[in-house]
Chains A and B, each alone.
Chain A
Amino acid sequence: MVHNWRSIVIGGGVPAVALLVVMPLLARTSVDVLGVPLLFAYVFVLFPFTSLCLWLAWRIDEPRYRDEQPVTAGRED
């Protein structure tokens, strides 16, 4: 099953850039957000943000998984 490039960029690329590229840029500042150091506040915001990215990717991918057949395993003995 070939993947959709749009879902890979949204679900994989965006979260990876947000954490591995943007986070190091913010890592040295002493700026606070509501009393929380920016580095921590940013990473905390990424938790729901990553879910949002995956949800958007799943909206793209979901139609391809609609007619998947269930399997059964190991019931023969």
Chain B
Amino acid sequence: MLPAIFFGVIAISVVVALAARIGLSNMSIGDYLVGGRSFPAWLLYFLAVGEIYSIGTMIGLPSGLYAGGASYGIWFVGYILMAYPIGYFLAPLIWRSGVRYDAMTVPDVFGRHFRSRSLEVVTAIALLVALVPWGQYQFIGLQVVLGGLGLAISPEQSVVIAAVIAFVYLVVSGVRSPAFVSILKDAFMLIGILVVGVVALSHAGGTAATFRRADLPAAMTTLSGSPLVFTITTIVFQSITFYLGFSAAYLFTAKSERAIKSSTVWMPMYMLMYPFLFLASFYAVAHYPGVADPNGIFMKVTTDLLPSWLVGVVAAGAGLSGILVLAVTALTIGGIVTRNLVPGVRPERQKRISNLVVAVFLVLAALLTLSGSTIMLTVLNLTYYLLGQLVPGWFALMFFRRVQGWAVSTGIVVGLAVSLVLYLTKPGLGGVNAGLLAVLVNLLLTFGLSALRPGRTTVPMCRWQRPPSSARAGDEPVAPSPAGGR
């Protein structure tokens, strides 16, 4: 029963991915990577929440709460919550830069805005380095889900299954697949989380019995000192990086700034599922003390409390969320390699080469996952440290005239180095998020070096308006774009 439901849902998702293609006979690279910049607010909403509430929500948050208490729980929900007000104001500028430069990837924007091929390459490499641990994060989560089902599937097999399905999504419909599959995933994920939370609550005997057991350490429900500093600095750093580092890939799919702004308004409502995850996590704290690998906590609560068919539903939601994000990440990387790293690939060949890159990435991330496992939220921190290095460049192109491409490149390279050193040496820093420090160094270099050796000026995104005649975008503009293109 359980495997039937789980694999049945996965099979339905492939059908949904196929259906997403209806009406598109010949998929261009623009359709493949950014859905032809045509997504209305509701579809953007589902693609966004599909990306945001990844497998980290169901598997990573409970394990973090279990192992790290309130500080992990509050930073995890806090940074997502804080990201929405930031995105509401900044995301339209990201989308606008996509239109201005005919961009389908972030390196497209950086390279064309600062007119620097070397910056384009640096940005592309930074994103590749950062997205590999992110792909690994999804694979770890998928292994946990499949492992927790008690099926006779080895870690190797679960990773291969996930990679193959992600690849199939992309080959059939490009970015449309994750957007439509996300609707299916949301239904299962929400049902799963609500049911597990409510059942855990009734087993524990009410909220007071869940959260206020006498033997619970204070750090499980309160914050002070260095954990509080860590929580606040991580919320600030990750909420900014959230849109400026991660989200550009799906923002380019929107059909208008209006669609972006109006869909962001309702995204925080989706977070109302988190209280139920907190309930499930605290149930685990009380009933399974001293678990060695906390990653499996949520699945353990699920399999212990729910009938097997419901476990299948929960696992399907978790599984789809991981595969979905894997697909979008692979697509982002495919676009970056074909458009920004390999020079001179013609638009009509970009899709085929992207598919190849997607396959290579999935295999690579899968191999890395199988070679060693870590606590998920630690991997998540690393991804953010690295992606955060794109933030100063975005600020520069959004709001400043006099920042130079080579200064942005220097900032990114040094910032990446600093964040890797801090990640590996783990100094205390009084709780301050290491990624935030690396970004400050990066900011100082980007703006300091530009001030020392000023060059040409560029109109920032916040001052740029789309001329009425440029209401089209593609790979080979008929008229030169106002920014000159490449």
In the bound complex, do residue B82 and residue A15 qualify as a contact, i.e. CB atoms below 8 Å apart? Answer: yes
In the bound complex, do residue A77 and residue B348 qualify as a contact, i.e. CB atoms below 8 Å apart? Answer: yes
Q: Which of B124-132, B221-229, B321-329 contacts A (4 or more CB under 8 A)?
A: B221-229
Residues on A with C-beta less than 8 A from B380 are: none
In the bound complex, do residue B78 and residue A29 qualify as a contact, i.e. CB atoms below 8 Å apart? Answer: no
Residues on B with C-beta less than 8 A from A54 are: 84-85, 88, 264-265, 268
Residues on A with C-beta less than 8 A from B261 are: 58, 61, 65
The distance in angstroms between the C-alpha atoms of A14 and B241, with both chains bound, is: 20
From A19, A20, A35, A55, give the contact of B207 (CB < 8 A).
A35
Contact count band on B: 35 or more
Distance from B194 Cβ to chain A, minimum over Cβ atoms (Å) = 14
Q: List residues of A (1-36) whose CB comes within 8 Å of B's CBs.
A: 1-3, 8, 11-12, 15-16, 19-20, 23-24, 27-30, 32, 34-36
Distance from B484 Cβ to chain A, minimum over Cβ atoms (Å) = 19
Residues on A with C-beta less than 8 A from B462 are: 1-2
In the bound complex, do residue B70 and residue A39 qualify as a contact, i.e. CB atoms below 8 Å apart? Answer: yes
Size of interface on A: residues with Cβ below 8 Å to B:
49
Distance from A45 Cβ to chain B, minimum over Cβ atoms (Å) = 10
Bits for B171-214, please: 1 = Cβ < 8 Å to A, else 0: 00000000000000000000000000000000000111111100
The distance in angstroms between the C-alpha atoms of A16 and B472, with both chains bound, is: 36
Residues on A with C-beta less than 8 A from B102 are: 73
B274 at the A/B interface (Cβ < 8 Å)? yes
Residues on B with C-beta less than 8 A from A12 are: 85-86, 88-89
Given contacts A12-B89, A65-B258, A74-B37, 4 further A-B contacts (CB under 8 A): A65-B261, A71-B37, A73-B102, A75-B31
A contacts, CB < 8 Å to B = 1-3, 8, 11-12, 15-16, 19-20, 23-24, 27-30, 32, 34-37, 39-40, 43-44, 46-48, 50-51, 53-55, 57-58, 61-62, 65-66, 68-77
